[in-house]
């Protein structure tokens, strides 16, 4: 490992000519200059490689590794084999960093000898140009008291299924990743789920930095929104996560309801983005894995569940196929919202009526006082 390289940024590249320049510009212009940029060209067929070569001519910190298409996991794994820096950051080629992101990450906890450092991300919705704090990357589940402190999974076991599991919103110690032989599962989607739990459960020194340092682009044809056949990989990924949990001192049964909600949240996340043609088979897969994931053990008080997650779970046993399931789920969600807002409207109407009565009473009182003053002056 070369000691003068502080951070290695691994950028998997596959047919992203539209976004690649923005990504690379955000990295080469970092205020932290002692970095390397490992760009893994994963068999691109567009102009991505030409863009990489043009940038590499101007900046010697850029390394280009060409390989046949192996997918996001394969590209990241290849990048990890060439890392020279003290720390590693995974940056998707359609995302970008704040110009001082790496500096803040590297220097904030350098003396703490961390295995992992979490940070915040912002979602950028390409369709309408909207920015929002990432629901999971915002780390709302982790109490502010953890910021600047060292912890591991045992300290946050009660929220372990609510912690952001994306790979890109964390800085990793290179020596730590090498020591545990970390890698992404190749050939499946939702690989971040598997990687996170495998790595986090082995990390001894973790901290958080609640600063928004990375912009995550949400676009129509991304993996997470495509809703295609690879969506079924969620079942493989969740099973691999389950294996990681069994290999630690955490006993899933201690936080069983949180674990079951975690399963439903992920199954629902995929289903609502699924193309109609796959919904029936996806529903069958949910039924086939129902007992494997222990979904028959869900506690019916649903403490902490959102109404959508609760209704999604309850709809599984009501339907005979995926099409009926979709209809029942959407109908019951609509019914819940109608009843919820009907009750809210009634509450607001009652409150409004009370205020009107108070205003009228005040007017009557003021009128009575005015009449008293008029009678006094008349006399």
What percentage of the chain exceeds 90 in pLDDT? 71
Q: Is the pLDDT of residue 39 over 70?
A: yes
Residue corresponding to tokens 């709809």: 315
48-71 mean pLDDT = 97
287-309 mean pLDDT = 94
Per the prediction, the chain carries an average pLDDT of 90
Q: Measured between alpha carbons, how far apart are the two ends of the chain, in Å?
A: 101
Say how far apart CA 81 and CA 132 lie, in whole Å: 34
Long-range contacts of residues 307-310, Cβ cutoff 8 Å, at least 24 apart:
307/333, 307/336, 307/340, 308/268, 308/333, 309/261, 309/264, 309/265, 309/268
CA distances from 78 to 42, 82, 140 (A): 10, 7, 32
Contacts of 253 (CB under 8 A, 6+ apart): none
187-238, pLDDT tens digit by residue?
999 999 999 999 999 999 999 998 999 999 987 655 555 689 999 999 999 9
Contacts of 37 (CB under 8 A, 6+ apart): 9, 11, 24, 27, 28, 59, 61, 62, 63
Asked if 52 and 20 count as a contact pair (C-beta separation under 8 A), the reply is: yes
288-309 mean pLDDT = 93
Is 7-219 assigned to CATH 3.90.550.10?
yes
What percentage of the chain exceeds 70 in pLDDT? 92
Q: How many CB atoms lie within 10 A of CB 12?
A: 24
Say if residue 84 is exposed, middle or buried (CB neighbours under 10 Å; 0-12, 13-18, 19+): middle
Question: Cα–chain-centroid distance for residue 23?
Answer: 20
Angle between helices 276-288 and 322-378 (to 10 degrees): 100
3-9 mean pLDDT = 90
SS3 of 244, please? helix
Contacts of 14 (CB under 8 A, 6+ apart): 41, 42, 43, 44, 48, 69, 72, 75, 93
Closest CA to 311 of 287, 332, 290, 335: 332
Q: Please, what sign has the CA dihedral across residues 27, 28, 33, 39?
A: positive
Tell me the domain boundaries of the chain.
Answer: 7-219, 241-325
pTM of the model: 0.86
pLDDT at position 73 is 97
Asked if 191 and 77 count as a contact pair (C-beta separation under 8 A), the reply is: no
Q: Which of 87-91, 189-193, 242-246, 361-365 has the lowest mean pLDDT?
A: 361-365
The alpha helices in the chain, defined as continuous H runs, are 20-28, 48-58, 71-80, 101-108, 174-179, 191-200, 223-226, 233-246, 256-271, 276-288, 307-316, 322-378
> Under the phi-then-psi rule, with left for phi > 0, alpha for psi from -120 to 50, and beta for the rest, what region is 242?
alpha
């Amino acid at each position: 490992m070369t000691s003068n390289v502080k951070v290695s940024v691994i950028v998997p590249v596959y047919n992203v000519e539209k976004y690649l320049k923005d990504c690379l510009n955000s990295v080469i212009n970092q205020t932290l200059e002692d970095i390397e940029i490992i760009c893994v060209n994963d068999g691109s067929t567009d102009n991505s490689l030409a863009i990489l070569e043009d940038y590499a001519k101007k900046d010697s910190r850029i390394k280009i590794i060409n390989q046949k298409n192996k997918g996001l996991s394969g590209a990241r794994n290849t990048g990890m084999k060439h890392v020279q820096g003290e720390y590693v950051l995974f940056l998707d080629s359609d995302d970008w960093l704040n110009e001082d992101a790496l500096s803040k990450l590297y220097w904030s906890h350098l003396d703490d000898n961390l295995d992992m450092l979490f940070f915040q991300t912002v979602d950028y919705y390409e369709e309408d140009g909207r920015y929002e704090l990432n629901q999971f990357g915002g780390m709302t589940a982790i109490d502010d008291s953890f910021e600047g402190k060292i912890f591991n999974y045992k300290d946050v076991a009660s929220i372990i299924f609510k912690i952001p599991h994306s790979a890109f919103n964390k800085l990793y110690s290179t020596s730590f990743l090498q020591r545990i032989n970390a890698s992404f599962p190749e050939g499946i989607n939702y690989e971040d789920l598997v990687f996170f739990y495998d790595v986090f459960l082995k990390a001894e020194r973790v901290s958080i930095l609640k600063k928004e340092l990375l912009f995550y682009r949400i676009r129509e044809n991304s993996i997470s929104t495509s809703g295609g056949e690879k969506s079924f990989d969620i079942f493989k990924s969740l099973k691999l996560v389950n294996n990681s949990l069994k290999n630690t001192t955490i006993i899933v049964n201690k936080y069983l309801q949180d674990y079951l909600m975690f399963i439903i949240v992920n199954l629902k996340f995929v289903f609502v983005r699924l193309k109609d043609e796959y919904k029936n088979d996806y529903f069958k897969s949910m039924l086939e894995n129902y007992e494997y994931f222990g979904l028959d053990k869900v506690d019916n008080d649903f403490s902490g569940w959102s109404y959508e997650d609760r209704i999604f779970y309850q709809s599984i046993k009501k339907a005979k196929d995926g099409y009926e399931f979709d209809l029942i789920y959407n109908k019951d969600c609509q019914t819940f919202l109608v009843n919820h807002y009907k009750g809210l409207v009634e509450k607001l109407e009652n409150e409004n009526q009370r205020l009107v009565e108070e205003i009228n009473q005040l007017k009557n009182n003021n009128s009575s006082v005015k009449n008293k003053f008029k009678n006094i002056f008349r006399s």
